[in-house]
A and B are shown apart, each in its own frame.
Chain A
Amino acid sequence: MSGTLNLLIGLAMGLNLLALGSGRLPSLIRAMSLQGVVLGILPLLIENELDWRIALLAIATIVGKGVIIPGLLRRAMRTANIQREIEPFIGFVPSLLLGAGAAIAAVALAKTLPLLPEHAGSLLVPGSIASILTGFILLIGRAKAISQVCGYLILENGIYLFGLLLIHSMPLLVEAGLLLDLTVGVFVIGIIVDRIQRAFDSLDTRKLTALRE
């Protein structure tokens, strides 16, 4: 089981790099939502017996991170007519180099941390640190609101990965992390509301005075 687990976490770490290297918003959103789905599968692999709470956590994660939030982001992109190109503060090649450096540093750092024996061989901690750092690079290095939200989501995915260490003993704390998704929801709705607001500013009803008797 641990082999599959590590494979999936490795995939998530690869998706970090894909997110850092993507130059267009749709591919960034795709990388992020795929990572959400991969992470959603993990709790099912960690727990040997299928508990309803674990199943619910997995479903909520897959639906939230993989379907709802990407859907909201795509809708925001369409309604707000946002240009598809990402404007980076930190260029794509430097971001990728930073991301790769973060992954290496994460593996090295995780070796020095005192872990429980059952967690020592897994990629959970390195994957978590790498995703958190990737999230920060995207948050700092991208200009568009939607790409910053994607960065925040990847940061959140990293925290979720770390939370999986605790899923046995303190499930409530891990489930609370789902509330972070709610934050993202508010973020996205904020963007939409903002844009709609501006649309209404220029569509002021007081200016609609042409049709009268």
Chain B
Amino acid sequence: MKSLLLIIVPLLGAALAAVWPSNRTRPWLLPVVGVIHVALVFWLFVNPPVVAPDAWLGFDPLARAVLPAVSLLFLICGAYGVSYLGLRSERPNRVFVASLLAVLGLLSAGHQARHLGLLWIATEAVTLACVPLLHFNGTPRAFEATWKYLLVGGTGIALSLLGSFCLGYASLRGGGGGDLTLTALMSQGAGLSRPWVLIAWVLLLVGYGTKMGLAPMHTWKPDAYGQSPSIVGAIMAGGVTTVAFTAILRVRAVIGAAGEGAIADRTLLAIGLFSMLVSALFLLGTRDFKRMLAYSSVEHMGILGIGAALGGAGVTAALFHVWSNTLTKGSLFLSAGNIRRAAGSPSIDDARGMSMLTPRSAALFVTGMFAVTACPPFGPFFSELQVIRAALASHHGIATAIFLGCLLLAFFGMTRVVFAVVDGRPRKAAKANGKRFVETAGVIAPPFVLLGLSLWLGLFTPAMLRDAWSAAVAQLFPTP
């Protein structure tokens, strides 16, 4: 019941936001709902409920291992949202706040979905709920980005539905009775029809991979993250992509039970490495620091894909990486948003010397950049180290070499952009703009807290979290 509240409370919040009269006080709904959601999630995290095997929705070990990170991110972004929407008081925020809360509710549904159809419906609904968020700025470019997002994302969603149909047909052909809960599909195991399982895997990987932003289906990402408010980028990169990742993990478990796990792992590894390579190369070329964050997100989705390909140890590392990426990337997006507002431009050609105009945001941005490029002692360093260990333990020497090479290239690319933004002398136009932007606690504390959480995650990973990750792995790789 409490797991249903995770979905209902944000959706009620969204309905409330839709009828709330005041533009000024409406954003406060974001942190209020966020606090309730975090409290509920952590209560459930500490006292995990028993989920019936045939339940369609439930706070099962996999949801327990991922959802708290998303919830925390939303709360902190919600707190940032209050000050951000205060700065943007010229634009009506009714649709924005309502959609953001709806996204939280639907994400909770997607993470908890244990039914192939329900999983798809939740992902589809998240995709649609993100649309008004992307064109909040209302510029022609924002509309272009939204259009691309809908076209690419819509095709991805359509393919994942086709993949779900194929998996359903595999079950039907193998004598299944039409039960599409993932546990039922897993227990049917080798009884699933092999050709249909393989077709389903390809379609579902491409479909949910598009949502996740794995290369070469990542093309919507730079535009969408570059043109939307940074709070939207943070929630999409840390929340929406993870729901697609858990979808892939759940489907991968079914494919593994059907005896095709080796093929699934090989494709995941290939697509993960390809994503890292593509994003590393684009990171070396981009001149826009918000697009840089999008490519960095593609890179980290690649790392998740690689982790997911490496068996139990790899999936544990990938779940760890979901946490560290969500928290660190959130901090980077929010500090980048501050810099973007002060500089008036996201391009390194116009934004320079930001350490003079916005010293605190610039400090957070640089630290966040080091954290996300896996410098110790932040979370990403330890989670990526764990991925490398899992890769070496399973004798993937060449893949590890490519992985490390891509990390190095990404480091070069990101330092190049970040220091171009931070160092030097500010432009005159930016100076005038930057004086108007005040670094209040409301826009500095949220990214600072996120970065602090990332540090804490790296230095003192709680045993309880590690247990949650192992429990999720036990759910995905059941020992017969």
List A residues at the B interface (Cβ < 8 Å).
Answer: 113-116, 132, 139, 145, 148, 152, 155-156, 159, 162-163, 165-166, 168-170, 172-173, 176-177, 179-180, 182-184, 186-187, 190, 194, 197-198
- B140 to chain A: which residues have CB within 8 Å? 197-198
In the complex, the answer to whether A114 meets B195 with C-beta atoms within 8 Å is yes
Q: Which of A152, A163, A173, A176 contacts B154 (CB 8 A)?
A: A152
In the complex, the answer to whether A170 meets B180 with C-beta atoms within 8 Å is yes
- B143 to chain A: which residues have CB within 8 Å? 190, 194, 197
In the complex, the answer to whether A183 meets B154 with C-beta atoms within 8 Å is yes
Q: What separation, in Å, do the CA atoms of A198 and B138 have in the docked complex?
A: 10
Given contacts A139-B155, A184-B154, 19 further A-B contacts (CB under 8 A): A113-B196, A114-B193, A152-B154, A152-B155, A155-B158, A156-B158, A159-B162, A165-B165, A165-B169, A166-B172, A173-B180, A176-B161, A180-B157, A183-B128, A183-B157, A183-B158, A187-B151, A190-B146, A198-B140
Q: What separation, in Å, do the CA atoms of A44 and B157 have in the docked complex?
A: 27
Q: Which of A170, A179, A190 contacts B168 (CB 8 A)?
A: A170
- A182 to chain B: which residues have CB within 8 Å? 128
- B128 to chain A: which residues have CB within 8 Å? 182-183, 186
- A180 to chain B: which residues have CB within 8 Å? 124, 154, 157-158, 161
Among A152, A155, A187, A190, max chain B CB count under 10 A is at A190
In the complex, the answer to whether B157 meets A114 with C-beta atoms within 8 Å is no
Among A115, A173, A190, max chain B CB count under 10 A is at A173
- B397 to chain A: which residues have CB within 8 Å? none
* B246 within 8 Å of A (CB atoms): no
Chain B: interface residue total (CB-CB under 8 A): 36
In the complex, the answer to whether B164 meets A173 with C-beta atoms within 8 Å is yes
Q: What separation, in Å, do the CA atoms of A166 and B326 have in the docked complex?
A: 38
Would you list 21 pairs from A and B whose C-beta atoms are within 8 A, ordered by A residue?
A113-B195, A114-B173, A114-B193, A114-B195, A152-B158, A169-B168, A169-B176, A169-B178, A170-B172, A170-B178, A173-B116, A173-B120, A173-B165, A173-B180, A176-B120, A176-B124, A179-B125, A183-B128, A186-B150, A187-B150, A190-B150
* B117 within 8 Å of A (CB atoms): yes
* B281 within 8 Å of A (CB atoms): no
Q: What separation, in Å, do the CA atoms of A26 and B14 have in the docked complex?
A: 38
In the complex, the answer to whether A179 meets B138 with C-beta atoms within 8 Å is no
* B147 within 8 Å of A (CB atoms): yes
Distance in Å from the Cβ of A103 to the closest Cβ of chain B? Answer: 18
Interface residues in B105-127 by Cβ distance below 8 A to A read: 116-117, 120-121, 124-125, 127
- A183 to chain B: which residues have CB within 8 Å? 124, 127-128, 150, 154, 157-158
Given contacts A166-B168, A166-B172, contact A186 B131 (CB under 8 A): yes
Distance in Å from the Cβ of B158 to the closest Cβ of chain A? Answer: 6
- B158 to chain A: which residues have CB within 8 Å? 152, 155-156, 159, 180, 183
Interface residues in B288-313 by Cβ distance below 8 A to A read: none
- A187 to chain B: which residues have CB within 8 Å? 150-151, 154
Q: Which of B117, B147, B173 contacts A190 (CB 8 A)?
A: B147
